[in-house]
Chains A and B, each alone.
Chain A
């Protein structure tokens, strides 16, 4: 248990005089509520950010009427989505159609729960941290594929199948980059990766060449994992209408929509943890102050999210065979060579 849990359990046991068992359960409920709140606010904030960033690139203003700089626009959108009728096609597979959105939501929440927002704010510090995040993201593929299949719509089916194959291919690259960084740090546990960076400097600097190659591969594969342009032929609006979520409306659609943005945040957060020192400040200026790490973490992650949004509004999209060629013929060999390179660099002690 990390510092956060003991603070809450201490508070509950000493101030509120609860027994250890009850304190344990209340604490779980509190942390779960906090994370649901973080998920919701994060989703809404990222949608607002996407719209403002898109407007910035397209030389227009974004939402600017609801609230200062349009901050409450997504709240209005969320209220609208909640009040919509949940339609679906007549011949859909009811059970699969209904449970499909929950796969993506639950896995996004689970991945959020292990991120180290700061030294004190990490809900679960599992010793397999990084591995846990990748495996949980893999389960999200099922949600997208089921949505495509269960909708009884050929366009959704094409979108779902494209997505399935795309996501399972690009997980290999992300996995291999993570292995390379694990070779450098010697651990998969997230707090220890950050601890390594506290001593040796950010991994992108301390691992120099293999880490930089790893970062570029991770950015490409991560964009593909979250189905963003240039890899968004899954939901290619110009070709398929809306892809796998064409037949969803209202809250079900909101689940997919928010989950896409939160997935983008998780991928960026992983890039920041593995390469840019999570909640550490540059040159260690504010490392001693508790809880300030959150600000650094959020700033760095939003920076990478901005770059991913920049990609979306600039590049055309790939065709499915070009996308798979890129992965299997180029990225996987490069990432395999990268692992070997990193191993040689660590063995010879050439890190900073």
Chain B
């Protein structure tokens, strides 16, 4: 067995450049003749742009151009497209309003870009932007879901009556009604899934360069998927054929979903570069990021669970309003539908489910995928509801889950909401997590907390997610505008070292290491002799990028398929050299051997022979050793597990401290345990952040009130404990490595566990509900209200 293959915690190859300060992020790159762009953004949530006076700005030092929506229209740039179409209950298509790169006529959210100022230096561009005068006529605006669907609400789009983008449903309404009709108990809940800002620590940036010699555009951008960006630029926005477009996503400082989407700034820097004859770079401020990066979540739901008297789930009904913001971001409509409603069975047997989702326009920043994307919303809804059912029926919270979990012998399991889970062992992860947190001793810990004046609560969440999204034909049928396969090229060099070209993109996930481990596992080549190339459309044939925990499951599978072809060809070469039949060649530990003999050739010898084909089966086999593969997944993968949280609440101040987190996940076969644990840690912090600290708060008239790190609370080290992370592996049945995916599990599983723990802590005081984020004042008020206090 190889020492660096599957299951080995190889330290990361990419670390060195980051630790020495030699990373190459988009803003680090300054091109010859570089100019800089700054955007003037609407301060109003909803306003007519009466006029723009750029005369003073144009006279300012260093200014090269001041561009507006009129220029965008005159040059026939395409609007920012939405890549997923959802159909209404009646079969008609959703309302997909136009999304010009710079606002035309109206600004529809605070932060909507109105004017682009380009100057020789960043400072000159900022100074000149202050001189642009925009005359706005403000209109009434709406930010919140319930207000947007109320009678007489301000209209975000004339073409969307009632601000409805689509009214969609999934599941069997009649079968669900029948289950409710015969149910012993019905438990219902009203929930808000709070709005969050993604906040990768690297702000977005884009540097566009038009080369008039080659008549070719190059875009350096903070993207999770450069090929998708090129596809959308080529086909929809810049309208330039793809061979004239290169998109490079160099080192990217975190994505969390927010860097999936094609943003207006990417188009505008390319377009402007051709107009001004210089490369044009834009780098977002954090304040600007809050007003221009797509936000996440923002659901309001009503859900009902039908149960038997002894606590078996029989039916689930869900009605959700999902905020789309002012425009449809790239994948926005898919999030509350195919990534949310399809997950509502969770890890449970629920014979009938019916879900209705209405997507709503508001005068806010567009809402799209943020770590988990739809699946955290589904998990939060289900796990809060299950906890409430346990309380109302007087059943232990762990037992009600255990009673309803899909059992290992029930796979493949077809849910009533379209998905077929291939494999899992949910009781095993539940038991593993309970053991890790020492559940049996919880009462002792609670008593000890009480001595210190703290209320201790225990929270549980059993969850599944669907990732590695999934057969292209299926997602196409559901409305996706793209395929969701992945590509890989494995290039074996003459001396036996390897370069892997992957269409996924690593922005923290460690692919440069884990994908090298895949090569090591299969070919025995040391990890240090394998380089992984990603993020450049000129170097990689094609790809769909990294999101939805897809890279190892889909991108890794493509690498395995390409390696299959390499091995197959190598066997032919080995057979020739060893004067044996191909059928007799075995490949193991990096050596090709004639079965049952000690005659062998190393992989390095085969590689060399492939490139120096003096003694070679040239009649049947081409020289060289390189192959490519595209892998289209057969199904989603279904990670799952159990997340347990213990909190201490200070009843005097309402402060909640997370004191224990123990999780057991099944993310399938693990390449690098250290990296997998790291992904779980990050997801947990993200999920705990949403549960307790973070919220993108809008005023009723559409001003973002928490628009900086002064007011939007990002989790810090002192807000979190160390995490106990365990894994129980069942191998995915339909991809060649058995991988499911780990990038999002923390953010999906943990928020309801935190809130369930807070409610558990406060239950003795009479508190039955608390919403995210459970801020100190909210907790304090809940305590006061439960105790009949003045608050």
Are chains A and B native binding partners rather than an unrelated pairing?
no
B residues with CB within 8 A of A: none
A residues with CB within 8 A of B: none
